[in-house]
Chains A and B, each alone.
Chain A
Amino acid sequence: MSYLRSSFRHPQAKKNKLGYTQANYEGALSTLCAGCGHDSISNSIINACFELSLEPHKIAKMSGIGCSSKTPAYFLSNSHGFNSVHGRMPSVTTGANMANRDLTYIGVSGDGDTASIGMGQFMHLVRRNLNMVYIVMNNGVYGLTKGQDSATADLGSASKKGVPNMYEPMDLCELAISLGSGYVARSFSGDKDQLVPLIQGAIKHNGFALIDCISPCVTFNNNPQSTKSYEWVRDHKEATGTFDLVPFEQEIQVQSPDANKETITLHDGSVINLHRQPESLDITCRESVLSALEEAKQNKHVLTGLLHLNTDSKNTHEIINTSQRPLNSMKEEDLCPGSDLLEALNQSLR
């Protein structure tokens, strides 16, 4: 970790529509190990929110416990953050979202926090299609407790300790797709060009959006025998196609015609442009995505990019018909039925 951060900012640093520079989206200095993939993901979050011109205070940063769950301290310091208990970020975020549907919820978790202790909550969160971004900083290893295998570690992959993992891995993307999530992506902390638009798309998506982001642990799981090392992932990743997001408010640039471009409009009018090869995967089809993921696994490839997109789903509030007005803004006059109705009720109980 570093102890000092330069206070120098470029005087002509780019400003977004709110007049903010990227510095307005930064957080405290990271205390993670130098070179940790998680810090790159934090930077991509900063970048994505800056470029989308989101008001930082209208974002809530949610996390569980672990190295990954510490990162919300390192981005968006003008946002409220909640570092909850191990594996329970989904429930806390669900309640927070129920209280105020107008904020943007960015949840950060790790592979231990999600795929082991938090697996139950994770799956039910996906089922309910809570409107949030869920980023798993996936390094296949428990960092804070010094190097135990996690449930996403690949069979046979070995961490620094050198003992090959004996168990089948959880594939969080496959799970999320099968549980009905309409936005599922896999990325790599070292590929900012892919990650930033994926985060932007996830923020704009109405409903649950998962980004399973492989994020090497430089201290415990970056050795040649590990399938979550920088080297291995760089050598084995394969993208489903490239992707860019055009926010609703932004003027769409006239581009040269692109036969392989597919345009999908999101809930708020933003547009996702998918660029893919004619023979490649149809990410709107669950079945083909699931078989492509299995095939990639067999070929020892890591399929990255947007894996699945379905914009036609209701989020939790829409399912249960909650008021458009945030529940936390309601007062006595909205909530308390008053003494007359109570007296009528008393009368019915005699």
Chain B
Amino acid sequence: MRIEAVNDFVIRFANVNGTGSASANNMFSKAVFRMGVPVSPKNIFPSNIQGLPTWFEVRVTEKGYLGSRGDVDFVVAINGQTMKKDYDTLMPGGYFLFDSTKALPRDFQRDDIIEIGIPLTQMCIDNYSNPRQRQLFKNIIYVGALAYLFDMELEVLTGMVKDQFAKKEKLIAPNIGALELGYNYAKEHYPDTCGLKVQRRDNVGESIIIDGNSAAGLGAIYGGATFVGWYPITPSTSVVEAFEKYAKKYRVDAETGQNNFAILQAEDELSAIGMAIGANWNGARAFTATSGPGVSLMSEFLGLAYFAEIPVVLMDIQRSGPSTGMPTRTQQSDIISAAYASHGDTKQVLLIPCDPAECFEMSAQAFDLADRLQTPVILMSDLDLGMNDHMSRPFKWDDERKYDRGKVLTADDLDKMTERWGRYKDVDGDGIGYRTYPGTHPTKGSYFTRGSSHDEYAAYTEDSSVYEDNMQRLVLKWETAKGVVPKPQIKYRDKNSKVAAIFYGTSAQASYEALDGLEAEGTKINTCRIKSFPFHEDIKSFIEEHDTIFVIEQNRDAQMRTLLLNEFNTGTEKLRSILNIDGMPIRARRIKRKIERMLSGEKVNPFTTARSAQEEVEA
């Protein structure tokens, strides 16, 4: 029995990295999108430049489920190193496209799948003489074959080739030639073979396709960031690369040719955030981007910015930890280390986007919040969101929007002031004092910024009560923060239901899909998507309203659950974890199966990941 589906399947490309496969696979994915069918591509790549296995998974999803589904219906197996595994893990009834220049080894003996052999290497040898072309066009040929097998519009693909090589015209004809080679081979040898189809729809609307890091970099441009200090680390590097790309496009003064921005590659992460803090202290909006190991290194400075009350924006593109972990695999495992980053009593504001549109919006908003609250704001993205293309709402910007620079005194304000100004004096009752930028006024408004204990006037103090008052004022400021950070997204499928789920960031899409599936079977589960820390009071009432709450996240230690318990001091019995730590995006099918079993009263281990699912132990 072959799998049959229209606009609803998962295809996985197994390639060797450094062979140009990524752009061909992206072309396939974008072609599906341009046929009006929602698509979700995921690049699963090694921490390596050339020669190791890499996979590219494309989910074709008419209903617009953009999370990872789980299971593979069609595999394009171009990598000899992983071919056996790719063969064995294919769903029964699935399709196995391979390079038939060489016959399949003898131990490839499944009779429940459909094998599609295309002599890619031989076709390249026959048609191209240049070795690099032989390698690159192999990828384009299989894309052409897929177009036939899935009954796609070949013109969409040829149109993309024309767009892509608009500036290198002589590459257009050979690329189209390669597409046709594959298309015609499949047409001749595999008519009516494939039960998976891509048919034109009108389901993507206004959507765009972009990766979260580009969106975050663009958000920083729109949010008015002028300076970046950074240190390269996967998967955050492309945030700064995007910022630079857009800055060169939008921020070079037409008359002088000079930059209305500055970017410095620092010597390490300590320096990167130190620079960003220095610039913010001096009144420019500045940020840095990093991943887990960088957050560890930046913790000391995050404490300084917290205590000396200096705005700074940090973008943490999380990856698998601990330590170096799996640098090119995703996770949501910096939640606690970011929320309480630094020694002493510290709490940091977190923003948690779930798609590129939110990466853009929250990145821009982070600068307003940091200035308003005079404290670090950390954007908690991850590798899946940051480095994969995602279909997303388009970006929007209101031209009337003004940057909220928070409480900053001008020379005029200082001149008009009758009472004595104190940098850390809480005159408004919200825990936030008034800042001055260096150089504002010849005789007023100067103060000494320090990470040592200080009084309302920024003077050093070791007076216990003055220290304590200052620390308690920071708690009041934290309360103020709760009112200005993004509220959670709460959805009731059934007001009377006592079952709920809490999730955040990239766990959201797969969770919504799993819960839709359960709802179709009659189980209605209310949801709360957390978008920020400090937690909004609505989250507490949401927990109180329900008896069983699944907390779905991508780390081993249930970090968000821990944070919820710690902050609200309630829910220990109700909050039940569903966890994923294999470095792949959490999959909808597995969440659904896990919840079904938990709801049926089974005692199951909370991990949805491959190994623990197979060897599940009673938990």
Contacts and interface: CB of A to CB of B under 8 A. Distances in A.
Contact of A321 (B221, B258, B450): B258
B370 to A, nearest CB: 14
Contacts of B221: 335-337
**Most chain B CB within a 10 A radius of its CB, from A94, A95, A349:** A95
B260 interface: yes
Contact of A84 (B34, B226, B304): B304
Nearest to B389: A349
A330 interface: yes
A316 B442 contact: no
A343 B206 CA distance: 11
Contacts of A98: 227, 229, 262, 264, 275, 278-279, 284, 286
B181 interface: no
B420 interface: no
B257 A79 contact: no
A93 interface: yes
A90 B272 CA distance: 11
Contact of B258 (A324, A328, A339, A341): A324
Contact of B264 (A55, A94, A102, A343): A94
Interface string B421-465: 000000000000000111111110011111110000000100000
Contacts of B266: 91, 124
Interface stretch (A56-64, A164-172, A284-292, A297-305): A56-64
B115 interface: no
A327 B260 contact: yes
B446 A57 contact: yes
Interface string A54-87: 0111101000000000001100011111111100
A346 interface: yes
Contacts of A336: 221-222, 224, 397
Given A98-B227, A98-B262, A121-B274, A92 B250 contact: no
Interface in A292-350: 316-317, 320-328, 330-332, 334-339, 341-343, 345-346, 349-350
Q: Is the interface of A mostly helix, strand, loop or mixed?
A: helix
**Most chain B CB within a 10 A radius of its CB, from A102, A121, A327:** A327
Contacts of A102: 439
A336 B367 CA distance: 13
Contact of A342 (B262, B286, B396, B438): B396
Interface stretch (B63-71, B398-406, B485-493): B398-406
A327 B279 CA distance: 9
Given A57-B440, A81-B448, A99 B283 contact: yes
B615 interface: no
Interface string A141-162: 0000000000000000000000
**Most chain A CB within a 10 A radius of its CB, from B262, B394, B398:** B262
A339 B284 contact: no
Nearest to B451: A85
B257 A321 contact: yes
A79 B264 CA distance: 26
B263 A84 contact: no
B63 to A, nearest CB: 20
Nearest to B208: A349
Contact of A85 (B209, B263, B272, B301): B301
Nearest to A82: B449
A128 interface: yes
Given A73-B460, A78-B446, A320-B262, A350 B209 contact: yes
A120 interface: yes
Contacts of B256: 323-324
A57 B443 contact: yes
B438 A91 contact: no
Interface string B273-288: 1111111111110100
Nearest to B288: A95
A306 to B, nearest CB: 28
A99 B263 contact: no
A92 B275 contact: yes
A98 B448 CA distance: 20
A84 B258 contact: no
B475 to A, nearest CB: 23
A124 B267 contact: yes
Given A98-B262, A103-B438, A349 B210 contact: yes
B207 interface: yes
B267 A56 contact: no
Contact of A316 (B264, B301, B397): B264
Interface residues of B, number: 75
A100 interface: yes
Contacts of A79: 438, 446
A96 interface: yes
Contacts of B274: 84-85, 88, 90-92, 94-95, 121
B300 interface: yes
Given A91-B266, A320-B262, A332 B402 contact: yes
B573 interface: no
A96 B267 CA distance: 17
A320 B263 contact: yes
Contact of B450 (A78, A83, A90): A83
B579 interface: no
A321 B252 CA distance: 10
Contacts of B438: 57, 60, 79-80, 96, 100, 103
Contacts of B589: none
Contacts of A83: 448-452
Contact of A100 (B34, B253, B283): B283
B270 A88 contact: yes
Interface in B376-392: none
Given A99-B278, A323-B253, A78 B209 contact: no
Given A72-B448, A320-B263, A336-B222, A95 B403 contact: no
A84 B442 CA distance: 23
A345 B395 CA distance: 9
Nearest to B403: A332
Contact of B281 (A82, A320, A331): A82
Nearest to B261: A327
B251 interface: yes
B282 A328 contact: yes
B268 interface: yes
Contacts of A103: 282, 438-439
B220 to A, nearest CB: 10
Contact of B284 (A55, A327, A337, A346): A327
Contacts of B268: 120
A169 B44 CA distance: 49
Given A323-B256, A341-B250, A350-B207, A99 B222 contact: no
B278 A95 contact: yes
A321 B281 contact: no
Interface string B295-317: 00000110010000000000000
B396 A339 contact: yes
B264 A335 contact: no
Interface string B213-240: 0000010011010110100000000000
Nearest to A329: B283
B259 A323 contact: yes
Contacts of B402: 332
Interface of A: 55-58, 60, 72-73, 77-85, 88, 90-100, 102-103, 120-121, 123-124, 128, 316-317, 320-328, 330-332, 334-339, 341-343, 345-346, 349-350
17 contacts: A78-B446, A80-B447, A81-B448, A83-B452, A91-B274, A92-B274, A95-B229, A95-B277, A96-B278, A99-B279, A99-B282, A320-B262, A323-B256, A328-B283, A334-B260, A346-B206, A346-B208
Given A91-B274, A320-B259, A342-B397, 11 more contacts: A56-B446, A84-B304, A85-B304, A92-B274, A94-B275, A95-B227, A95-B277, A121-B270, A337-B222, A339-B396, A350-B33
Interface of B: 33-34, 204, 206-210, 218, 221-222, 224, 226-227, 229, 246, 250-251, 253, 256-264, 266-268, 270-284, 286, 300-301, 304, 394-399, 401-403, 436-443, 446-452, 460
